[in-house]
């Protein structure tokens, strides 16, 4: 197998041990291993100078798997390498919550042995695609997001108005700190912390969640994922922020933002016994009660 390894480009206490354990397993399996060029710089000299390891700064369709080492945020950055290539991603969790990076560090050999034996399933995750009019170079090159696209205020404590149209029909103007359009994958992220609903990954829906709305009747709204969402911002400042997962750009208020379902998916590798409902119970502690 031809495998790409991606992680944070800073040193974390437990990452080195995980990388060494992972690399030993992969080389035992005679895999062809590529490290992302910045990530390998955080490793020890033995790994950096190993003749068994190659480097990449971009990927092509010849890769069989990308292994992300970190948390969910690391996977969100990893998809910018995978793009529409269809390379499956599996996450080893050295972060905190881990809705996407579900393999724990003590499960590396077991989980990867199952993957090498073909004992896994693929969860296809919908993405959002954004365009701006007039065009903006900051979001043109990497104009997609796996979790959410969020509009928010910049350089002000004043609220902004986000005029919102669905399939060219006027919905409302949110008077708020911002607005989140979330995928099912992102429903357990920023949207959830702003009061949005949890959506199962296989649902064909998006969620519109206002951020601290002053319209007291404003509530999260579930919409079909074939909906075109058009946003226009007005406020005391001349600019606003748009974030695509963890990537942020500044746009002028004269910009019209259009968001639609992307024309490709991200393939997440899951263990056969792993389910979204089980992950929900574990990560959100559903059912946990000190009285029980």
**Active site residues per annotation:** 72
Three-class SS of residue 272?
coil
CA atoms lying within 13 Å on the CB side of residue 90: 25
Contacts of 226 (CB under 8 A, 6+ apart): 204, 261
**Parallel/antiparallel/unpaired status of strands 120-133 and 144-145:** antiparallel
Rg (Cα) of the chain, in Å, rounded? 20
Give the long-range contacts of residues 44-47, CB within 8 A, separation 24 or more: 44/16, 47/19, 47/20, 47/23
Three-class SS of residue 213?
coil
Q: CA–CA separation, 257 vs 250, rounded Å?
A: 12
Residue carrying the six token digits 């090498």: 116
Residues in the chain: 292
């Amino acid at each position: 197998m031809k495998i790409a390894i991606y992680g944070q480009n800073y040193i974390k206490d437990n990452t080195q041990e995980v990388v060494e354990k992972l690399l030993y397993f992969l080389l035992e399996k005679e895999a062809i291993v590529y490290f992302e060029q910045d990530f390998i710089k955080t490793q020890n000299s033995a790994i950096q100078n190993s003749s068994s390891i190659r480097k990449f700064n971009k990927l092509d369709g010849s890769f069989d798997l990308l292994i992300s080492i970190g948390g969910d945020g690391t996977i969100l950055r990893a998809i910018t390498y995978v793009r529409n290539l269809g390379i499956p991603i599996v996450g080893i969790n050295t972060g905190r919550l881990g809705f996407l990076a579900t393999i724990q560090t003590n499960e590396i050999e077991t989980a990867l042995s199952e993957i090498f034996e073909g004992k896994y399933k693929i969860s296809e995750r919908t993405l959002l695609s954004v365009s701006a009019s007039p065009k903006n170079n900051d979001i043109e090159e990497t104009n997609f997001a796996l979790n959410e696209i969020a509009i928010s205020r910049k350089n002000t404590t004043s609220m902004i108005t986000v005029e919102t149209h669905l399939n060219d029909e006027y919905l409302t103007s949110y008077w708020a700190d911002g607005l989140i359009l979330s995928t099912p994958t992102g429903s357990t992220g920023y949207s959830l912390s702003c009061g949005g609903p949890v959506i199962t990954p296989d649902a064909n829906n998006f969620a519109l969640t206002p951020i601290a709305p002053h319209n007291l009747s404003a509530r999260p709204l579930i919409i079909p994922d074939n909906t075109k969402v058009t946003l226009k911002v007005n406020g005391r400042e001349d600019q606003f922020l748009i974030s695509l997962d963890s990537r942020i750009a500044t746009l002028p208020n004269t910009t019209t933002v259009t968001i639609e379902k992307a024309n490709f998916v991200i393939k997440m590798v899951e263990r056969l016994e792993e389910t979204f409902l089980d992950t929900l119970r574990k990560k959100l502690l559903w059912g946990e009660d000190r009285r029980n």
